[in-house]
Amino acid sequence: MKRKIRIIPLLLAAALLLGTIPTAFAADVCTGYSSWFEPSLREMQELNLLPDSFKGMDLSEDISRGEMCELAVQALEQITGYSIEPERTDYFSDTSKDYIVKAYELGIVEGYPDGTFRPNEPLSRQEFFQIMENFCKAAAFLPEADSSYLEKFDDRGDVAEWAQEAAEICVKYGFVNGRGVGDVVGLMPESNTLRQEAMAMFLRGFKSVNEYYYYIKNAQVTVDDNTGSTGDGMTGENTVVDNVEITGVDKHMMVTTDALNVRSSWSSDSKILGSVRYGADLTVTGLCENGWVQILYKGQTAYVSGDYVTDYKEVDHTATEGAVEVANFAMTFVGYSYVYGGASPSSGFDCSGLVYYCYGQFGYKLNRVADDQMDNGTAVSYDSLQVGDLVFFGSGSYANHVGIYIGNGNFVHAANPSSGVRVSSLNETYYATRYIGARRIILN
């Protein structure tokens, strides 16, 4: 007994010593950083925000475009609790790095017009501003810009037009304070960004977004809410494209034919970009005087014939009691595993399996696959979403993912193997850019 009693304190002491190693070694994780950055470095290590590749880096050097992608993707996965599987890896001719492809699909970064990404190029400060705005949107945090916050910077006029809004957001929300040179503090938008500067500014942004996303992950069913707008959708902004006047609008319309070609211009002679099917929800940005309709398609401006689309009928935004019951029932499975082909609590769920099972328990027989479930129920516009509606995501007219709307811009779904059944926001860039329509199963 005495030997055991003496061993236990030794084991406890060893455990305590091992437990302090990460903190004690934090200062040695990277090199070349200033003393002011050490608290931020320690905090980033504690929050698991340091990619493995950053260990041993000289933080007095400029951060590269690729390094910023890796930092942003790891942080976003920390916030949301899941990792996406890239749909493709061949977006760029000079890199197929996993974290760069993910950052691109999440809307955090863009490539160059020549098809390259240039991952080793230094990141300018205004590029950092833009990445921070995109990072916020990727997590459904939609900050508002305010130009008055840049008035204190004498070099605000040096910010490129494409980075103006991002700079305003970064300063307004405290992500960026400016860089001091003597008694002058400037934005220095065209300067490169040191690694320690980028990491310190990014940490501030991460904490704001992480706090916001907590309420999405813990959202509950919210009744008497809809996502949308009121009025006729007219924006009052008219443009002329190839001698055809286009009246600017902001609304949603529905496809009324089996398959409708999406084209690069307002003519049946123009290039076909893809197609959308019956019931697809179209984000309409303009009405052409020749009868064609300007839409947003896969992030770019496109056109469809106005003969095959229609406005949605006015609907009651109040969810039916039955639909609310289904949504609340689906929420009881948050935390369950994602299993491909699964459609029950005992086996786990895939996306359409969760929808199929939940509605089935209330006597509604739906199709089993997400794309086929787009044939169930009645099409409803994004602006008319109510609790219990099915929301679909995919590419073009094909639905490869589905969830159940729970109100306040959120939906419950079996996301993927890394996160299982969870709540996400329709405003997250990944889902906002892939949203293709909604169906209402319970009408009254």
Query: Over the stretch 187-211, which tens digit does the pLDDT of each residue have?
Result: 999 999 999 999 999 999 999 999 9
pLDDT tier for residue 234 given thresholds of 50, 70 and 90: low
Q: Where along the chain do the CATH 3.90.1720.10 domains lie?
A: 321-440
CB atoms within 10 A of CB 3: 6
Q: Which fold has domain 321-440?
A: endopeptidase fold (from Nostoc punctiforme) (3.90.1720)
With a cut of 70, say whether residue 423 has pLDDT above it: yes
- Tens of pLDDT, residues 1-28: 333 333 334 444 444 344 444 444 455 6
Looking at this protein, which amino acid is placed at residue 325? E
Tokens 């109510």 belong to 386
Burial (CB < 10 A; 0-12, 13-18, 19+), residue 24, is: exposed
* The pair of three-digit structure tokens given for residue 432, joined into one six-digit string: 């906002």
- Tell me the β-bridge partners of 263: 272, 303
Q: Where along the chain do the CATH 2.30.30.40 domains lie?
A: 234-311
223-237 burial code (b ≥16 CB/10 A, e <16)? bebbbeeeeebeeee
* The pair of three-digit structure tokens given for residue 119, joined into one six-digit string: 């991952």
pLDDT of residue 23: 42
- Report, as an integer, the average pLDDT of 33-59: 95
Q: Please name which of 301, 323, 308, 313 lies closest in space to residue 381, comparing C-alpha atoms.
A: 313
Active site residues: 351, 401, 413
Give helix then strand counts, H and E, for the chain. Answer: 11, 18
pTM score: 0.75
% the chain with pLDDT above 70: 89
Q: 182 Cβ partners below 8 Å, 6+ apart? A: none
pLDDT of residue 276: 87
* The pair of three-digit structure tokens given for residue 157, joined into one six-digit string: 């006029």
Rounded distance between C-alpha atoms, residue 117 and residue 136, angstroms:
21
pLDDT of residue 310: 87
With a cut of 50, say whether residue 31 has pLDDT above it: yes
With a cut of 70, say whether residue 185 has pLDDT above it: yes
- Report, as an integer, the average pLDDT of 264-293: 89
Residue with the larger pLDDT of the pair 143 and 229:
143
Rounded distance between C-alpha atoms, residue 15 and residue 198, angstroms:
35
pLDDT tier for residue 264 given thresholds of 50, 70 and 90: very high
- Tell me the β-bridge partners of 311: 253
Range in 57-61, 89-93, 183-187 with the lowest mean pLDDT: 183-187
With a cut of 50, say whether residue 223 has pLDDT above it: yes
- The residue ranges of DSSP E strands in 256-308, in sequence order, are 259-263, 272-277, 281-288, 292-297, 300-305
User: For domain 234-311, is the CATH number 2.30.30.40?
Assistant: yes
Residue with the larger pLDDT of the pair 226 and 246:
246
On whether the CB atoms of residues 235 and 286 are closer than 8 A, the answer is: no
pLDDT tier for residue 278 given thresholds of 50, 70 and 90: confident
* The pair of three-digit structure tokens given for residue 254, joined into one six-digit string: 């529905």
On whether the CB atoms of residues 355 and 364 are closer than 8 A, the answer is: no
What average pLDDT is seen over the chain? 88
